[in-house]
Amino acid sequence: MPETAIHATVNFNTSELSFEDFKKIVLDDYRIGYESRQASLIGRREVLTGKAKFGIFGDGKEVAQLAMAKAFRKGDWRAGYYRDQTFMFATGMSNLMEFFAQLYAYPDIDKDPASAGRQMNCHYATRFVNEDGSWTNQAESMNCSADISPTGGHMPRLLGLAYASKLYRQNKELEYLDKFSVNGNEVAFGTIGNGSTSEGLFFETLNAAGVLQVPMAISVWDDAYAISVPAKLQTTKEDISEILKGFQREKGTNGYEIFKVRGWDYVALCETYERAIAICREEHVPVLIHVNEMTQPQGHSTSGSHERYKSKDRLAWEEEHDCLVQMRKWMIASAIATESEMDELETTAKKHVRECQRAVWDQLGDEIKAELNQAAQLIEQLAKEASAETELLAVVAQLRECSDPGRKDVITAARKALRLTVKDNLSAKQALIGWLNDEQAKNEDRFNSKLFNETPHSPFKVPQVPVEYDDSARMLDGRELLNACFDANFERDKTILAFGEDVGAIGDVNQGFAGLQNKYGDLRLTDTGIREATIIGQGLGLAMRGLKPIAEIQYLDYMLYSLNVLSDDLATLSYRTRGGQKAPLIVRTRGHRLEGIWHSGSPLGLILSSLRGIHICVPRDMTQAAGMYNVLLRSDEPALVIECLNGYRLKERLPANVGDFTVPLGQAELLKQGNDVTVISYGSTLRIVMEAAEELEKMGIQIEVIDPQTLYPFDLDNISGKSLRKTSKLLIVDEDVPGGASAYILQNILEVQKGYYSLDAQPKTLCAKEHRPPYGSDGDYFSKPSIDDIIEAVYSLMSDANPQKFPPIFS
């Protein structure tokens, strides 16, 4: 078994070093870089020979990453992209065995701790959630937030990781959280390709960090290309640090320190990183290090060859300026090592990498072969008893002939064998079914588990507390009730904080946080710029570092400007690390009907389809919202809470335990009993449904009204399905487009809750129109479900069933 760890490099301060020490450091660095290069070369070959599906590697970027690793300390964070294997090896946050395990999609956290085989290769992560759901000691470890493939998509998270250091340094109330920070000394290191700096998220993050003055260090790996597209078509003046000069801090201003250094100049790189990161760490000033003249020795990825789009001159230049070639030259010229010492080092390194690759490949192969043999034996046994003996033996033969079999080959063979013996009743078949069920449970765990972290701190484990009212309970505006809930929670837990547009000084546009900044300070209730994507990223990074953020999106319609971060980053976090990371972020927003095309949004279908991995709460009023916040603020999974825009000034009764009572996720509520039609609705339409119920009552129709309260999870106790058994008629009312969230609800009730079997009339949905609602009350009436629409929809269900008793209205 080859040795797995590659030792972290030590500091590079030549003034305090003997020549021998210095030589050892440089040789070690070169070895790590060279091993990393070999991993890239072998990795590519493994893809081209079909052993792995896709490969993207960090070749050509090694030397800068050795320098960056020297500046990286315990407690620091990385948010980067797929080129960073050398950095990960040099810091010890990853190693060659894990590198190959991920390349082969090894579905095991012990082999690929970053993603358990779920992510493409070179997508890095360290694990910071223990098996029991608690946090690891982040201050004692080096930390890597989990990569995502959308290039530039990680920038908002980087902002949050850096912002946490600022809070830990400035908010003395957080000093007790020493597992997360030591005086906010932690730097958040970001990496991004030159091409990806064209993304809006890059610029949004850059500006926000400049305003906030956080210890964020962005390295731009500039190889002058983004796949085939050259810098000329990517970047104004073809030079990102040149055009960012306006961000440079000057005397008396905030801003950045910006550095530019060539990617093959080892000495300059080491000096630059040392200087840049010292400023960043000590002064909390963001820095940008533009590393240019980098190369891609093997082209962009295994998907194509760069000879197609790079000129001969460029290719020749890249060969000459290959950073490892240059470093080697410099080492020999400076008499750090001789040619033959270098040859020997390289030979040993090559062998070592090859051994690691083979060891991982063999381990995975052995595991699968063992399962294959079990399946083959069970099918052979079945063949002895079954009439389809020949076909079954052919299935086994095909399975045994597979070169490099995967689990899907094994399971497919077993399933095929069961289809071939569908009419047989044999004991060998029962054995095969039993084995298959066990394997499928293991495969579900390998491939389908941990959409949520499901720790002992999950929202489903929060003890339930019923709402209580004093006899003298005050009626007050919904916004005041929410305010009381937030106040109690801020008082209870010092890690809770909220930020967003207009959240600080005025306490949000509807005043749910009014007065709380005065009480708790501007580090806990904070105004931000108009930058939805980085508001979410800010929350994500803070939540990863042990704080309890409420990130506010001012209106649901503007959540679209952060949807990529919510969907790609937050929603996938637990899944893509198989529970190794968590970000218990609460996103607060307000939606449904109010006024006009962009202040009446209710795009729940879009949300439900794009945010699996985030709980979706749609409280009908502020009391229910408060109960949900009380759960979410005591647990560790991400959630989106959509308050009713038109509910802040409606009167509600103030609960005596406003900061403690709970509204559990997935618990639907029966708001009104009735025998005739089951009506499911949520959010702002519920009030109208309840008004319609009164008029329908006068018409002799009793509807049963159900509020699912959270759309995801949806009605875990099957209240809707049970109601349908009584009424046999179903109407779903919402403000989304037709076929949006109502289709999701239908699928749940008809399929999951088996409501189909209770129906004796066609199920109906009543939604908003396909266009967005025009401004004004008439626009609302003609675009969103009105009380008239609801009454008529219910009535027509009754009329269809019994026209004598309920003659059609329009005939």
Ligand X SMILES: Cc1ncc(C[n+]2csc(CCOP(=O)(O)OP(=O)(O)O)c2C)c(N)n1
| Residues of this chain that bind ligand X (CB under 6 A) | 83, 149-151, 193-196, 221, 223, 225-227, 300
Residue number with CB closer to ligand X (240 or 711): 240
Helix (H, G, I), strand (E, B), or coil: what is residue 480? helix
Residue number with CB closer to ligand X (106 or 221): 221
All residues at 6 or more sequence positions from 706 whose CB lies less than 8 Å from its CB, including other chains:
668, 669, 670, 671, 678, 679, 680, 681, 715, 719, 720, 723
Nearest distance from residue 225's CB to Mg ion, in Å?
5
If one asks whether residue 721 binds Mg ion (CB under 5 A), the answer comes out as no
Residue number with CB closer to ligand X (226 or 719): 226
Q: Residue 499: which of 525, 521, 518 has the closest Cα? A: 525
DSSP string covering 197-264: GGSHHHHHHHHHHHHHT--EEEEEE--SEETTEEGGGTSGGG-HHHHTGGGB--TT---BEEEEEETT
Nearest distance from residue 48's CB to ligand X, in Å?
19
If one asks whether residue 235 binds Mg ion (CB under 5 A), the answer comes out as no
Q: Which of ligand X, Mg ion, none interacts with 563 (beta carbon under 5 to 8 A by kind)?
A: none
Q: Which of Mg ion, ligand X, none interacts with 510 (beta carbon under 5 to 8 A by kind)?
A: none
The pair of structure tokens assigned to 29 is 């660095």
Q: Which amino acid is at 454?
A: E
Instruction: Show the beta-strand stretches assigned E in 558-664.
Output: 586-591, 615-617, 639-644, 651-653
| φ, ψ (nearest 5 deg) of residue 217 | -120, 105
Nearest distance from residue 242's CB to ligand X, in Å?
16
Residue number with CB closer to ligand X (128 or 225): 225
Looking up tokens 């070592």, which residue turns up?
Answer: 352
Nearest distance from residue 223's CB to Mg ion, in Å?
4
Which residue's C-beta sits nearest to Mg ion?
A: 193
Q: Which of ligand X, Mg ion, none interacts with 450 (beta carbon under 5 to 8 A by kind)?
A: none
Measured between its terminal Cα atoms, the distance across the chain in Å is: 84
Sign, CA torsion 128/130/133/139: negative
Nearest distance from residue 193's CB to ligand X, in Å?
2
Q: Residue 287: which of 300, 277, 297 has the closest Cα? A: 277
How many residues bind Mg ion, per CB under 5 A? 6
Nearest distance from residue 223's CB to ligand X, in Å?
5
Q: Name the DSSP letter for residue 306.
A: G
Distance of CA 669 to the CA centre of its chain: 30
| φ, ψ (nearest 5 deg) of residue 3 | -70, 140
Nearest distance from residue 87's CB to Mg ion, in Å?
16
Nearest distance from residue 231's CB to Mg ion, in Å?
8
Residue number with CB closer to Mg ion (206 or 285): 206
Nearest distance from residue 191's CB to Mg ion, in Å?
11
Distance between CA 514 and CA 483 in Å, rounded?
Answer: 7
Q: Which amino acid is at 489?
A: N
Nearest distance from residue 800's CB to ligand X, in Å?
49
If one asks whether residue 193 binds Mg ion (CB under 5 A), the answer comes out as yes
Burial class (CB in 10 A: 0-12, 13-18, 19+), 40: buried
Q: Which of Mg ion, ligand X, none interacts with 300 (beta carbon under 5 to 8 A by kind)?
A: ligand X
Residue number with CB closer to ligand X (217 or 677): 217
Angle of CA points 560, 564, 570, to nearest 5°: 115
Q: Which of Mg ion, ligand X, none interacts with 149 (beta carbon under 5 to 8 A by kind)?
A: ligand X
Instruction: Show the beta-strand stretches assigned E in 392-483.
Output: 475-477
Q: Name the DSSP letter for residue 80.
A: -
Instruction: Show the beta-strand stretches assigned E in 227-381.
Output: 229-230, 257-262, 287-292
Q: Which of Mg ion, ligand X, none interacts with 151 (beta carbon under 5 to 8 A by kind)?
A: ligand X
Residue number with CB closer to Mg ion (193 or 584): 193
Nearest distance from residue 195's CB to ligand X, in Å?
3
Q: Locate all alpha helices (DSSP H) within 117-214, ordered by sequence.
A: 155-170, 200-212
Residue number with CB closer to ligand X (156 or 193): 193
Site for Mg ion in 497-526 (CB under 5 A): none
Strand partners, 642: 589
Q: Which of ligand X, Mg ion, none interacts with 528 (beta carbon under 5 to 8 A by kind)?
A: none
Q: Which amino acid is at 361?
A: W
Distance between CA 274 and CA 268 in Å, rounded?
Answer: 10
Cα separations in angstroms, 511 against 35, 485, 531, 554, 652: 57, 13, 20, 12, 16
Residue number with CB closer to Mg ion (195 or 755): 195
Nearest distance from residue 227's CB to ligand X, in Å?
5
**Judged by CB under 5 A, which stretch of 86-94, 186-194, 666-674, 740-748 contacts Mg ion?**
186-194
Distance between CA 673 and CA 781 in Å, rounded?
Answer: 27
Peptide bond preceding 713: is omega within 30 degrees of 0, i.e. cis? yes
Nearest distance from residue 142's CB to ligand X, in Å?
22
Count of alpha carbons within 13 angstroms of residue 495, beta-carbon side: 21
If one asks whether residue 584 binds Mg ion (CB under 5 A), the answer comes out as no
Q: Which of ligand X, Mg ion, none interacts with 227 (beta carbon under 5 to 8 A by kind)?
A: ligand X
Distance between CA 230 and CA 729 in Å, rounded?
Answer: 61
Q: Would you say 784 and 600 are in contact if contact means Cβ atoms under 8 Å apart?
A: yes
The pair of structure tokens assigned to 547 is 């704080």
Q: Which of Mg ion, ligand X, none interacts with 196 (beta carbon under 5 to 8 A by kind)?
A: ligand X
If one asks whether residue 194 binds Mg ion (CB under 5 A), the answer comes out as yes
Nearest distance from residue 226's CB to ligand X, in Å?
3
- Residues in the chain, overall count: 811
Looking up tokens 């080129």, which residue turns up?
Answer: 83
Site for Mg ion in 205-234 (CB under 5 A): 223, 225-226
**Judged by CB under 5 A, which stretch of 195-203, 509-517, 528-536, 695-703 contacts Mg ion?**
195-203
Nearest distance from residue 149's CB to ligand X, in Å?
5
Residue number with CB closer to Mg ion (223 or 715): 223
If one asks whether residue 265 binds Mg ion (CB under 5 A), the answer comes out as no
Distance between CA 517 and CA 527 in Å, rounded?
Answer: 10
Count of alpha carbons within 13 angstroms of residue 677, beta-carbon side: 33
The pair of structure tokens assigned to 256 is 């950045």
Q: Residue 490: which of 629, 665, 648, 663 has the closest Cα? A: 629
Residue number with CB closer to ligand X (82 or 259): 82
| φ, ψ (nearest 5 deg) of residue 587 | -100, 120
Residue number with CB closer to Mg ion (36 or 489): 36
Residue number with CB closer to ligand X (322 or 552): 322
Q: Which of ligand X, Mg ion, none interacts with 693 (beta carbon under 5 to 8 A by kind)?
A: none
Nearest distance from residue 194's CB to ligand X, in Å?
4
If one asks whether residue 59 binds Mg ion (CB under 5 A), the answer comes out as no
Q: Which of Mg ion, ligand X, none interacts with 421 (beta carbon under 5 to 8 A by kind)?
A: none
Which residue's C-beta sits nearest to ligand X?
A: 193
Nearest distance from residue 613's CB to ligand X, in Å?
19
Residue number with CB closer to Mg ion (232 or 771): 232
Q: Would you say 791 and 692 are in contact if contact means Cβ atoms under 8 Å apart?
A: yes
**Judged by CB under 5 A, which stretch of 55-63, 136-144, 163-171, 194-202 contacts Mg ion?**
194-202
Residue number with CB closer to Mg ion (33 or 193): 193
Site for Mg ion in 128-157 (CB under 5 A): none
Q: Which of ligand X, Mg ion, none interacts with 83 (beta carbon under 5 to 8 A by kind)?
A: ligand X
If one asks whether residue 195 binds Mg ion (CB under 5 A), the answer comes out as yes
Residue number with CB closer to ligand X (128 or 221): 221
Residue number with CB closer to Mg ion (223 or 660): 223
If one asks whether residue 29 binds Mg ion (CB under 5 A), the answer comes out as no
Which residues are near Mg ion by CB under 5 A?
A: 193-195, 223, 225-226
